[in-house]
Amino acid sequence: MKGKIESLLKENEKLSLSKVATELGVSFIEVLRNAPTSRNFSVDKKDELFEILRGWEKVFLLVVTENFVLEIKDKFPKGFYAHGYLNFHDKDSSIGGHLSVDKIKEIFIVTDVMFGRKSCSIKFFDEKAKEIFAIYVPRDENKELIKECLDSFNGL
């Protein structure tokens, strides 16, 4: 699988990982597990990761369902654990809600191509290999990845 993915990416540098999955007829998570531009991040270090994300100027949060793509650009919120959830309630962020962190089974650090541009994201998956949400390195007014966030992402 790794060889097939690498070959497709070398043939076409503008090919996204989701298109690789389609071309190979495999799931997106299977591509993430094998792509040279993706790597696992330890689920055990998720709280450390959330703390790093709080240090970013802002994040680009995506939640994708079958019928809706929710996009929020704001500071990553502070949270607290209660009742089996990580509860996000932060007056300095419009991002709020309740995350069942025990459902996070895989986290990937991903460099990809979206709409012809380099894209960097952190993707969180559940036990059914479904994406829970993703955090993308945000872009500035010129649509360039924000350097400080990109540097932090590259250090993960």
How does pLDDT run across 37-66, given as a tens digit for each residue?
A: 999 999 999 999 999 999 999 999 999 988
User: Averaged over 7-33, what is the pLDDT?
Assistant: 95
Domain residue extents for the chain: 1-36, 40-154
Q: What percent of the chain has pLDDT over 70?
A: 100
Q: What is residue 116's predicted lDDT score, i.e. its pLDDT?
A: 87
CA distances from 89 to 9, 79, 113, 119 (A): 40, 6, 32, 28
pLDDT above 90 (res 115):
no
pLDDT band at residue 13 using 50, 70 and 90 as cut-offs:
confident
Token match 């025990």: residue? 102
CATH architecture of 40-154: 3-Layer(aba) Sandwich (3.40)
User: Averaged over 83-89, what is the pLDDT?
Assistant: 94
Task: Decide: helix, strand or coil at residue 130.
Answer: coil
Global confidence as pTM:
0.94
List CB contacts of 153: < 8 A, sequence separation 6 or more. Answer: 109, 120, 122, 137
